[in-house]
Structure 1
């Protein structure tokens, strides 16, 4: 029986502990807010559309290696008087063949023509391969750009959430301060009515309370404004922060330490973006250089032609334009080489090489700055934790001192000005702790942005 009682007691204590922990942990974390942003924010959808666009461009570049198949069909009506001479076959010409002097009938007739041509570039000194790699680099660059955008969006969300928590904490702080001053005002009012204290004490206490009440209105408006700014990113209405959130915001840094879960092998999105940018320019440069070399193509074609011209007679009837048909096919190998592009492509190659060099230098510059900023951020975080521990202890001592001085004032041992000075010290200690907490969380955001790892903040903020 005693064993059952102990087991039931242990179970009850365990459930009570779990309930208290659930009450202390805020329900609306930064991670839950980010899930809403991922689902609703149109900026992310715009970035995904750009990635999909680059993927389609990559497939379009790859499809250029496939045989190019062209087909045409014509039905025309016109003269067929031939002419002697020579010409360059530039775009925009049309062909006429015939001799009206040897034919009877009309000098106008219908014609029918259809053709299908296949052209397959089988060898171009690796130009197509370089174009494919350039398209792949451009796609990866867009993916990295999207990841960098997501990283900045996470940073903006975290900062707005911190601002909302900061404004709520200040609002609660000013409420407590106003309550203390209201209590002092009530005490001075009673002492003044009983003749134990001068009326000036009551007026001074009332003046201090009214100032605190004005600050209450300011922080209330600030809290509402930061809440609206946070809602703009989330896309849906969110609950107002409660005392649990503020308590967690202020006390969490006192007993937890920041640890990044990002693997050392994971590259920052901006570094990846510069790296892929350099790769794109490099492969584009090689593709331009090889475009000046000849290309070898397999050619094949089939054509069918009909005309209204008989053996010795020409007719202008539409149906006769499909008669007297002849068909031909042609296959072969062709080599094309644009010599004049050699000089032009050489200049284009130099320009792309310089762009490659620029992207590589940007990568090196950001990599060096990133590592330095990460080290500086870790040092600053460590010192800020020490600051928070000291400001928290200062609040404890100031609260104890205020309680003792309040008792001495009630006993007539000190003046109201001395009590208000102690109250201001307590007020300043609380304010300093709130400011230090805000700076700690902001520094965590900076560290998370530098390491591209927001897991810690998503879980604990």
Structure 2
């Protein structure tokens, strides 16, 4: 009675541990949500969108006028001579007519200017700049969605790989148990003299090989967990896949036929469409930026000088303060005739870029269509494999049980028993691989046709 209580408590503890572990399994939908929130690549791409938005705000400010405040006080000579020259931007201004003789006396002047220049109209160039900036944002946003789409496919692939490895570990655990069972039988038969001692060594070798395989599979599983942890921010030990979801998905036999390609909102197609649109907006900008410009110019200024109206060089301190005040307002038109040729050349270059973008869009549409066809072929093959492989598994299991019974009764040797065991092991791994290939093909089609959410609702 005491032993019954002990074993009962142990069983309850084991069931509790299994229940807790099942509660902590990570569903694919939950994992994808974490990836959307925590993936470093997506965080970086979202920052790139913010940069484009800031640039668009900056471009919207191009229409603002320039209103400059200037003041200067200068001391020097006022000694002009007649004759024209080009300023080259380095010859200072020196106003007044030419005197009969040279005079190098010092003069103090001061000048204050308020100047306005405003490109008030440029025949659509401002609007074209804003449209390009908006399409730049759209390209960056669609690039973000494409990165999210590819990362989603990467996460799904690794999650399915994790389920496959989990199945392999379960199979390998059963394989170890069978080898241990065989070893116990051999040890019992060897002690009674029915079997030679060498069979024990062979059984030990097979058991060790099974354990080494388990260690290698466990390492592969942890490496896959680490890859998922890097993009999801979850502790890698906590990423335990829900293997029962795979069975639920496989049971949905009509899923492939219900998935309809969503090319209108496909992230890859949208990205290349936005590039085409962006290039066309740049064409419009090229057409507009070389148009004439209508300018508003205005200025008001005051001047003071130590030279009076009778050309007397007075004390320098008399140069402070404004003696004369002026203003000037004007509207002008500016156009460079050679911009016609520049526009033609630049527009030709941009049209070439647009044509390239259109061809890339067509290429992606073809690749998506090919991907759908390949996924359909793979799905059909995987279905046929799933129908056939249970026959292999049943036959292999029956063969192993027969060989084990014959061996225990001394009617066959260890070599044939190990061969039957390996056939059973291969059949179990083939079945797990067939399940993995089917779910991978199903998700590959879902990713290609942009219907991942539809599968996720069935998968979780």
CA 1:240–1:128 in 2, change beyond 3 Å: closer, same or farther?
A: closer
Q: CA deviation at 1:450?
A: 1.9
Matches within 5 A, 1:101-180: 106-122=105-121, 124-180=122-178
Is this contact kept in 2: 1:78–1:108, CA < 8 A?
yes
Structure 1 counterpart of 2:12:
none
**Aligned mates of 1:22, 1:205 — CA distance in 2:** 36
Matches within 5 A, 1:24-103: 27-88=25-86, 90-98=88-96
Structure 1 counterpart of 2:187:
189
Q: CA deviation at 1:413?
A: 4.1
Task: Describe the SS at the equivalent of 1:293.
Answer: coil
Q: CA RMSD in A?
A: 3.2
Structure 2 counterpart of 1:255:
251
The match for 1:245 among 242, 245, 249 is 242
The match for 2:422 among 421, 424, 432 is 424
CA 1:82–1:451 in 2, change beyond 3 Å: closer, same or farther?
A: farther
Is this contact kept in 1: 2:28–2:156, CA < 8 A?
yes
Q: CA deviation at 1:220?
A: 2.2
Q: CA deviation at 1:356?
A: 0.7
Q: CA deviation at 1:335?
A: 0.8
CA 1:370–1:95 in 2, change beyond 3 Å: closer, same or farther?
A: same
The match for 1:219 among 208, 217, 220 is 217
**Aligned mates of 1:111, 1:376 — CA distance in 2:** 81
Is this contact kept in 2: 1:24–1:248, CA < 8 A?
no
Is this contact kept in 1: 2:160–2:436, CA < 8 A?
yes
Task: Describe the SS at the equivalent of 1:239.
Answer: helix
Task: Describe the SS at the equivalent of 2:34.
Answer: helix
**Aligned mates of 1:299, 1:218 — CA distance in 2:** 79
CA 1:275–1:316 in 2, change beyond 3 Å: closer, same or farther?
A: farther
Query: Which residues of structure 1 form unaligned runs of 5+?
Result: 1-19
Output one character per residue of 1:123-148: Cα deviation in whole Å (capped at 9) or x when no partner.
Answer: x3333333322222222111111111
Query: Which residues of structure 2 form unaligned runs of 5+?
Result: 1-17
**Aligned mates of 2:423, 2:75 — CA distance in 1:** 102
Task: Describe the SS at the equivalent of 2:210.
Answer: helix
Structure 1 counterpart of 2:6:
none
Q: CA deviation at 1:74?
A: 2.9
Structure 2 counterpart of 1:6:
none
**Aligned mates of 1:137, 1:254 — CA distance in 2:** 43
**Aligned mates of 2:277, 2:422 — CA distance in 1:** 61
Q: CA deviation at 1:96?
A: 1.9
Output one character per residue of 1:333-391: Cα deviation in whole Å (capped at 9) or x when no partner.
Answer: 21111112221221111111111111111111211221232233134224323423433
Structure 1 counterpart of 2:15:
none
Instruction: State the TM-score, normalizing by the size of structure 2.
Output: 0.84
Q: CA deviation at 1:253?
A: 4.0
Structure 1 counterpart of 2:9:
none
Is this contact kept in 2: 1:164–1:230, CA < 8 A?
no
Task: Describe the SS at the equivalent of 2:242.
Answer: helix
**Aligned mates of 1:353, 1:376 — CA distance in 2:** 35
**Aligned mates of 1:146, 1:455 — CA distance in 2:** 18
Output one character per residue of 1:179-217: Cα deviation in whole Å (capped at 9) or x when no partner.
Answer: 111111110111111122233333332222222122122
Task: Describe the SS at the equivalent of 1:267.
Answer: coil
CA 1:364–1:105 in 2, change beyond 3 Å: closer, same or farther?
A: closer
Instruction: Tell me the matched-pair count.
Output: 438
Q: CA deviation at 1:236?
A: 3.5
Q: CA deviation at 1:150?
A: 1.2
Q: CA deviation at 1:172?
A: 2.5
CA 1:200–1:247 in 2, change beyond 3 Å: closer, same or farther?
A: farther
**Aligned mates of 1:451, 1:282 — CA distance in 2:** 27
